[in-house]
Structure 1
Amino acid sequence: MSIKDTATRVAILDTLATRVATELKAAKQELQAGLKDAKAETGTQQISVDLAGRDIGKATLVQPKAAAVVTDPDALLAWVRTVAATEITTRLVTEVRPAWVANLLKQLTATGTAEWADPDTGVIHDVPGVTMQGRAAHVRLTIPNDGKQAIATAWQSGALTALVLPELEAGEQA
């Protein structure tokens, strides 16, 4: 293959990759919205993915549990001064050591509440400056290797043309 042919191939693949990435993003958003609707209507959070009647994987709506997030650093700092003053580093700016905050948030996330049990005293504290916030749902695709091979075979045979290519042709030029 000549350098000119290689340049042409790269230009085509780059253009197609960009268009496919755009279509993929839109399709994932549509899938997530559909799964959210299905969950609300019927409780369904997982659907099978099939190709020509063959089950090749599954799509699952994943709703992570709420995570602890610092929403008021000053309130958190004032509280840490009273329960774990050695975890505070003073510089030009006084802040709680990031590693300690990360561990605290991990503990609070695990318990699902903004209450911390002091390991030394056993006292339960409401942690100021930290709230539990929901996290965005997302879709997880699970396509095992044999499913990926089935997709590759269908692509090579042209069987995916009607499913994928019309959407690429119908979209606006990038």
Structure 2
Amino acid sequence: MSLKDDAARAAVLRVLRDAVDAEYGAARRSVLEGLRAARAELDLKSVRVTLPDGTPIATLTLVDPRPAVVVADEGAFTAWAAENHPGEVEVVVRVRAAWQRQFLAGLACLEPVADPRTGEVVPGLAAPPPPVPRSFSLRPVPGGPERVTRAWSSGALDLRRLLAPGGGAP
């Protein structure tokens, strides 16, 4: 396939993925609501899922959260621990995150990394080369998703070819 074919395939699959993701999210919410109702009414926790011909394909089970104790007041708990278990309390010294972000944003990405005010090399900082791109942005043009959906609905898109392993012909 050419880059143009691969790009078109990626754009169409993105639209289809978004449509499937939306439907999947709605189905999950509906199933969860149904399982919760079945739990309340029938004390039912699981349901077997079958194809229309009765072939089992899955089991859906409510996952009960485990009860847990949480720290509701960090200061009160820390004070109690310091008094009752002083060896378990630690003091952390670190650069304030907001200042660090601001300082690093003002630096040139050159080695050695230097303070722009003084020219002094700043220990502990490095400017490694950026990694190679690992992703790309896909922004549909206005009306693009609707055009893909119409093409899908009308049969103008061959989903068997688009969804075949490797993107080739089925």
Q: TM-score, normalised by structure 1?
A: 0.50
Rounded to whole Å, the distance in 2 between the matches of 1:4 and 1:90 is: 57
C-alpha deviations, 1:95-142, integer Å up to 9, x for none?
Answer: xxxxxxxxxxxxxxxxxxxxxxxxxxxxxxxxxxxxxxxxxxxxxxxx
Rounded to whole Å, the distance in 1 between the matches of 2:17 and 2:57 is: 23
Aligned to 1:79: 80
SS in 2 for 1:62: coil
SS in 1 for 2:61: strand
Q: How does 1:1-174 map to 2 (within 5 A)?
A: 1-52=1-52, 53-91=54-92
Rounded to whole Å, the distance in 2 between the matches of 1:87 and 1:36 is: 41
Rounded to whole Å, the distance in 1 between the matches of 2:30 and 2:57 is: 20
Aligned to 1:99: none
Partner amino acid, structure 2, of 1:65: R
SS in 2 for 1:70: coil
| Shift of residue 91, structure 1, vs aligned partner | 4.8
Rounded to whole Å, the distance in 2 between the matches of 1:92 and 1:71 is: 24
| RMSD over aligned Cα atoms | 2.2
SS in 2 for 1:44: coil
Which range moved further: 29-38 or 64-73? 64-73
SS in 1 for 2:70: strand
| Shift of residue 81, structure 1, vs aligned partner | 1.7
Aligned length: 95
Q: Comparing both structures, which one devotes a greater share of its residues to helix? A: 1
| Shift of residue 92, structure 1, vs aligned partner | 6.7
- Percent identity at matched positions? 36
SS in 2 for 1:67: coil
Rounded to whole Å, the distance in 2 between the matches of 1:90 and 1:47 is: 50
| Shift of residue 4, structure 1, vs aligned partner | 2.2
Partner amino acid, structure 1, of 2:12: I
| Shift of residue 69, structure 1, vs aligned partner | 1.1
Rounded to whole Å, the distance in 1 between the matches of 2:46 and 2:92 is: 50
Rounded to whole Å, the distance in 1 between the matches of 2:71 and 2:42 is: 35
Aligned to 1:131: none
Rg bigger for which structure? Answer: 2
C-alpha deviations, 1:46-97, integer Å up to 9, x for none?
Answer: 000101211112000111121121110111012112221011123579xxxx
Q: TM-score, normalised by structure 2?
A: 0.51
Rounded to whole Å, the distance in 2 between the matches of 1:24 and 1:70 is: 35
SS in 2 for 1:64: coil
Ranges in structure 2 where 5+ consecutive residues have no aligned partner = 95-152, 154-170
- Moved runs in structure 1, 4+ residues, more than 6 A? none
